[in-house]
Amino acid sequence: MSPQVLIDGIIAGSTIGLGAIGLTLTYAILRFANFTHGDFLAWGAYMTLTVSGFLGGLLAGLGIGDPLGPFSFGWGLPLSLLAGMALTVLLTLGLDKVLFGRLRRRGADAIIIVMASFGASMALRSLLEFIFTANPAYFTRELQIAQKIGMGMRATPDQMLTVGLTAVLVIVLHVFVTRSSTGRAMRAVSENPGLAGVYGLDVQKVIRVTWIIGAGLACFAGVMSGLLVQIRPYMGFDLLLPLFAAAILGGIGSIPGAMLGGLIIGLAEAVTVQVVGAEWRAGVAFVVLVLVLILRPSGLFGRRV
């Protein structure tokens, strides 16, 4: 087995991990399995693509449209990403206001909210297909050459950048959740929302912050996937099972857990592609999920279920 498997696994695992962090946070604090989360990734990618389409012409006109350094993208992408993240936040907050929040206020069982998220995810995904067609799209036409990074592995500058940024994001988030007052509030609400109110915490505000963080991460992960692979309407849905598996493997509510879960699944997928064949890749996350549920349902860093 070639060592390339390691870097391939880390790259794929980073996307899964980032998406899983957003999913695990909403799962822990809003207390439902959100089937729309995958589509937040896809919508994030598409909205960023749309903005970058507008920006592209503008920036080229200003003479700053060229790719930055060794990367395949210019200033257009990071700027569009910021806009894309803002738009994804609006999407999730809007969906919560119109659908999930209403069901919550009515006292609906969590499983009904899960069902609604399933319906919303099909609608959102198909809306993307309707607007953009099922044809794959790309952020950039620039081709990248994979460079040697030692130990027989190769990676493109784009790939190395995204892995690096992921690591930074995870560290920042972990510090935020463990040390900041908002982080404490989030942990409190995830343990006991009623008691959080007694302690003086505004649970609605914590819910909003959770959606915002989840949406931002989802957009980032979507753009990452879109940049490194391609953008298609089903990109988020295809990641949904790995996202769930990673979140459950890591332990619901744990940020390091979700990231570690993502990396493990990414590596397992890379190994499977090499050893068994690419056509079985989508089944790996399921195998991991079943193993976790049999052996340790609370996950690596989770509370006892």
Residues 37-96 that bind other proteins (CB under 8 A): none
Rounded to a whole number of angstroms, the minimum distance from the CB of residue 108 to other proteins is 7
CA dihedral (208, 165, 254, 41) in degrees, to 10, reads 50
- CB contact at 8 A, 191 and 302: no
Residues 198-227 that bind other proteins (CB under 8 A): 198-204, 207
Nearer to other proteins, 59 or 289 (CB): 289
196 part of the interface to other proteins, by CB under 8 A: yes
**Residue of 134, 149, 168, 172 that binds other proteins (CB under 8 A):** 134
The helix, strand and coil proportions of the chain, stated in percent and rounded to the nearest 5, come to 75, 0, 25
104 part of the interface to other proteins, by CB under 8 A: yes
- What are phi and psi for residue 33, nearest 5 degrees? -80, 110
**What number of chain residues touch other proteins (CB under 8 A)?**
73
Give the contact letters, 4-43, x = binds to other proteins (CB under 8 A), - = no: ---------------------------xxx-x--------
Give the contact letters, 278-297, x = binds to other proteins (CB under 8 A), - = no: -xx-xx-xx--xx--xx--x
Of 81-89, 98-106, 148-156, 162-170, which part binds other proteins (CB under 8 A)? 98-106
Residues 173-192 that bind other proteins (CB under 8 A): 181, 184-185, 187-189, 191-192
131-170 in b/e form (b: 16+ CB < 10 A) is: ebeeeebebbeeebeeeeeeeebebbbbbbbbbeebeebb
- CB contact at 8 A, 191 and 56: no
Question: How crowded is residue 243: how many other Cβ atoms within 10 Å of its Cβ?
Answer: 31
122 part of the interface to other proteins, by CB under 8 A: yes
